[in-house]
Amino acid sequence: MYEYIELTSGINETALREIFIAKLAAVGAEGFEEEKNLLKAYFQETTFNKDIIDEIFLASNIQYTTKIIANRNWNELWESNFQPVQVDEFCVIRAEFHPAVPGVKYDIIINPKMSFGTGHHATTFMMIEAMSRIYFFGKSVFDYGTGTGVLAILAEKSGAFPIIAIDNDDRSIENAEENININKCYKILVFKNICFFDNSFFEIILANINRNIILDNLSAMKQHLLPNGVLLLSGLLTGDYEIIMEAAEKNKLNLKNRTERNGWICLELINHE
């Protein structure tokens, strides 16, 4: 059984903490624990890359410490930290052990497991908020980088069909399928490592990933987006706005809405071609 490295850093500001959770998750962190003035991240010892971690922290002039710990009950860890995410009266995302929230249109239950952070809700919140303004009924949807599957699940609950969801991580695929079953969704097909299907076109594409993946695949997303289709992007920092919009304009995608939360942005783009 693998031993783990526990990384500890003093990060007080909520927005900065969310950014570090996102960055550390992107380089292999498998779990997070948030205390009053501390952020702890957990890596398998075999996947911890000190050089990359040093770059992340040096860029913000923040210190961190590490120690080796034995494997632990990760399910217990996320249960102790995971909090429901509620977007107005439109949607709540909760674990099975949380009580239902009355008066909310869509109730989504997920079992996020150790692969997903316990505080990085800004991008998901904004994606859901944006989805509340989009008409999904009968629309075809592609969820690019599905993770827990929550956006695909919300799309189905909002009446979308068909829905294709992809991810490149085996644990994400397994977790998404589990959450789809928990929510009794039957119109979502989940695949691994398939960007787009030949001759497949979608009315709505959801991509809550990160800047580099979005930039590398924006042209492909445009090619598979129907005229007047919606491309909803997040996983982007406020500083990513100009480079993303430059690429969007080259692909003749027009900005309809931009929202910002805790240093993150969500962009709603329209294919007017």
Q: Measuring CA to CA, which residue among 81, 141, 67 is closest to residue 112?
A: 81
Examine the pLDDT at 232 and tell me if it is beyond 90: yes
Q: What is the pTM of this model?
A: 0.82
pLDDT tens digits, 247-260:
999 999 999 999 99
Tokens 């550390």 label which residue?
24
29 token code pair: 């962190």
Report, as an integer, the average pLDDT of 132-150.
Answer: 95
220 token code pair: 């492909």
Phi and psi, residue 107, nearest 5° = -110, 115
The distance from CA 125 to its chain's CA centroid, rounded to whole angstroms, is: 10
pLDDT tens digits, 159-196:
999 999 999 878 788 889 999 999 999 999 999 887 77
How sure is the predictor about 80, in pLDDT bands with cuts at 50, 70 and 90? low
pLDDT tens digits, 19-68:
888 888 778 787 777 777 888 888 888 889 999 999 999 988 999 999 99
Burial (CB count <10 Å: 0-12, 13-18, 19+), residue 213: middle
Q: For every residue of 73-105, which 3-state class applies, written as one string? A: CHHHHHHHHCCCEEECCCEEEECCCCCCCCCCC
Percent of the chain with pLDDT over 90: 55
Task: Measure CA of the first residue to CA of the last residue in the chain; give whole Å.
Answer: 53
